[in-house]
Amino acid sequence: MRTIAEFEAAARERLEPAHYDFFAGGAGDERTLRANEAAFGRRSLVPRVLRGNGKRDLAVEIAGSPLSMPVLVSPTAFHRLAHPDGERATAEAVAAAGTVMVVSMAATTAIEDIAAAARAVAADPSLWFQLYLQPDLEFTGSVVRRAERAGVRALVVTVDSPVFGQRERDHRNGFHDLPPELAVENMRDGSGSVRDIEMSAELSWDHLAWLRETTSLPLLLKGILHPEDARLAVAAGVDGLVVSNHGGRQLDTAVSTLDALPELAAAVGGVIPLVLDGGVRRGTDVVKALALGANAVGIGRPVLWGLAAAGREGVAEVLARLREELDHTLALCGAGTPGELTADLVR
Ligand SMILES: Cc1cc2nc3c(=O)[nH]c(=O)nc-3n(C[C@H](O)[C@H](O)[C@H](O)COP(=O)(O)O)c2cc1C
Ligand SMILES: CCCCC(=O)C(=O)O
């Protein structure tokens, strides 16, 4: 299998239909889900030539973490629904590839076990932890302490989910919960019972200020689309933003991330890094996002397709293909590094 589309087809064959739909689906009419990919298709590259870039270097640094390429793994829930090895397999493949895995708060493996798996293949792996701020701040604080002790290098606070998106496929399939043998392991409280993740519309910048006080880890906000929110985030001392519409799973008809990117890049003016996710499937997509102002991209579903199709090897293969395509596209655009990509290369 060479392309992410082929991995998706293989994953679809293997997965229970309701689980495939949970991974693949989006909110409402899935307009935003489609728009993310379509936005890359609407743009063309205008390559430069004779630039003398025989040796390319894909490495970047984001929020203090080194990445071997400007592609990280966005947080996705329930990896053990995709493959029995679940998040451990993902962590091994991502650590071996030298990039960042953002572990979902809704992982089906405990953060300590994910960190151990990553450390078994790389001396100093970069794991970030995604957090839904819980209205119970004391419990939120205990999850943060746990992630810190496990050695995560940044927190990614998802802010696009004041309520859970309406996913019609899940309603139709009656898919609402994990099977009884799986649990959201990072939501265990002191007594060992597993709490439900609460989405809360009460959350405000005050809660973020509390989090900023409670940890010294770099903080990124995930799910920023409005430039004014980007400015507020900079003012709040946030260390980075993930330009995301949750892969079209929250607000349907929300702007595609690539369309939102230029205004967000202008709003932050390079003061903090921007990671874009949603619809990235090819090396050319990565180049377009970087040229229009992202410092890196995140991939969600492609990792799940690799994992479902072939476990750790499948995730490794998805990352290897994207790296190869990115390197190839840089060469064809006359660029030697991600930093050389500029907006004039995109129409
Ligand atoms: C099955 C699935 C589960 C997800 N779970 C989470 C999650 O737990 N936390 C979160 O912040 N985002 C979650 N996301 C959103 C991803 O982090 C990311 O924004 C999105 O998948 C990017 O789009 P892409 O799948 O087109 O690459 C999930 C996405 C999918 C597809
Ligand atoms: C409570 C699980 C949240 C998973 C999630 O964020 C998603 O499915 O998009």
pLDDT tens column, 1-44: 889 999 999 999 999 999 999 999 999 999 999 999 999 999 99
3-class DSSP state of 328:
helix
- Over 90: is that where the pLDDT of 173 sits? yes
Q: Is 77 annotated as a binding residue?
A: yes
Ligand 2, atom 9, lies closest to the CA of 249
Q: Indicate the CATH number for domain 4-335.
A: 3.20.20.70
Q: Is 248 annotated as a binding residue?
A: no
Answer yes or no: are the C-beta atoms of 319 and 93 closer than 8 Å.
yes
DSSP secondary structure code for residue 219 in this structure:
E
pTM for the whole thing? 0.99
Q: How far is the CA of 77 from the centre of ligand 2 (A)?
A: 6
Domain layout of the chain by residue ranges: 4-335
Annotated ligand binding at 75? The verdict is: yes
Whether the CB of 93 sits within 6 Å of ligand 2: no
Continuous H helices in the chain: 4-14, 17-24, 31-41, 79-82, 86-97, 111-119, 137-149, 168-173, 205-214, 227-235, 257-268, 283-291, 301-333
Identity (one letter) of the amino acid at 259?
A: D
Q: How far are the Cα atoms of 19, 136, 182, 212, 272 from residue 206, in angstroms, in the given order?
A: 36, 14, 34, 10, 20
pLDDT digits (tens, 9 = 90+) for 225-253: 999 999 999 999 999 999 999 999 999 99
- The residues, any chain, with a CB within 8 Å of residue 16's CB and separated by 6 or more, are none
Model ipTM value: 0.99
Mean pLDDT to the nearest integer, 254-276: 99
CA-nearest residue for atom 4, ligand 1, is 76
Distance of CA 13 to the CA centre of its chain: 24
Distance 76 CA to ligand 2 centre (A): 7
For residue 90, report the distance from its CA to the centre of ligand 2, in Å. 17
pLDDT at 73: 99
Give the closest ligand to the alpha carbon of residue 281: 1
Query: What pLDDT, in 10s, does the model give residues 108-136?
Result: 999 999 999 999 999 999 999 999 999 99
